[in-house]
Amino acid sequence: MIEIAYAKVNLALHVRAKRPDGFHALESLFMFAEDGDVLHARAREDGGLTLVMDGPFGSLLDANDDNLVLRAARSLQMAAGVGRGADILLDKRLPVASGIGGGSADAAATLRLLARLWAIDLAQVDLQAMALSLGSDVPACLASVTQMVRGRGEVLEPQEPVGLAGRPLLLVNPRVGVSTADVFAGWDRIDRGALDASSMEALVQAGRNDLEAPARALAPVIGDILAALRGSQARLARMSGSGATCFALFDTTADMGLAADRLRRDHPGWWTMETRIRTV
């Protein structure tokens, strides 16, 4: 069986007040690309779990016990009392540590894939709680639909701002990884207000990514990417998550293609992906 781990993009990311548990409350509109990493799985009867990785970025990860794919597989296996195992192949097409939910999307796709492979009755398993135990972004990645995400990632509200569905989406990464912990450590701790995700125009005019400044301090090339994207026909260009991937939304596929061609010509070392916002 095969499952796509759809790339996650934070259309806006507002960091709010500190919670009693020490985490900062987040408000973010998550959207998902039509493309991402690809997982393949084959059932095995001895209960064993194996992971092999290939693809453009597969060599940058270790298939050890801490890998989120194997952690997700073990969690589902134990929670559902499944005696079967799986041989899993991860075709790693998204950059690592890039702010587009690669590891979280992989974990969520693993849960979806193995639930089908093992024919698990999902009424007997709390997938959302399991996903949150694996990481803050994993619950939203389970459905991989446009949604408002609040709290630590546990409060999800499906939302479809006017003018967003199916829009051409260009992802750009300088092949530079940044640490989420280091980016948060550099945040100035100023709560700049709530996120209005009611429409595309509200997101363009008032949305922001509060982690962009500290991420740019760690990886100044992020500023170069944003400048290049904002010099195109993009309706919106912004950094996703904690970086270093940036994205741009366009009105037409042709406008996106022209921008992508220019980037590949002027910056051949950057990774790009031409896709669209996923709709269900």
Tokens 């408000």 belong to residue: 27
What one-character DSSP code corresponds to residue 58? G
Q: How far is CA 100 from CA 28, 29, 31, 61, 135, in A?
A: 13, 13, 10, 16, 14
Q: How far apart are CA 218 and CA 208, in angstroms?
A: 19
Rg (CA), the chain: 19
The question of whether 8 is a catalytic residue gets the answer yes
| Residue 91 bridge partners (DSSP) | 38, 54
Q: Which of 8, 91, 92, 106 is catalytic?
A: 8
Q: Which of 91, 106, 137, 255 is catalytic?
A: 137
Residues in the chain: 280
Q: How far apart are CA 102 and CA 92, in angstroms?
A: 9
Tokens 């640490």 belong to residue: 179
Which residues participate in catalysis according to the annotation?
A: 8, 137
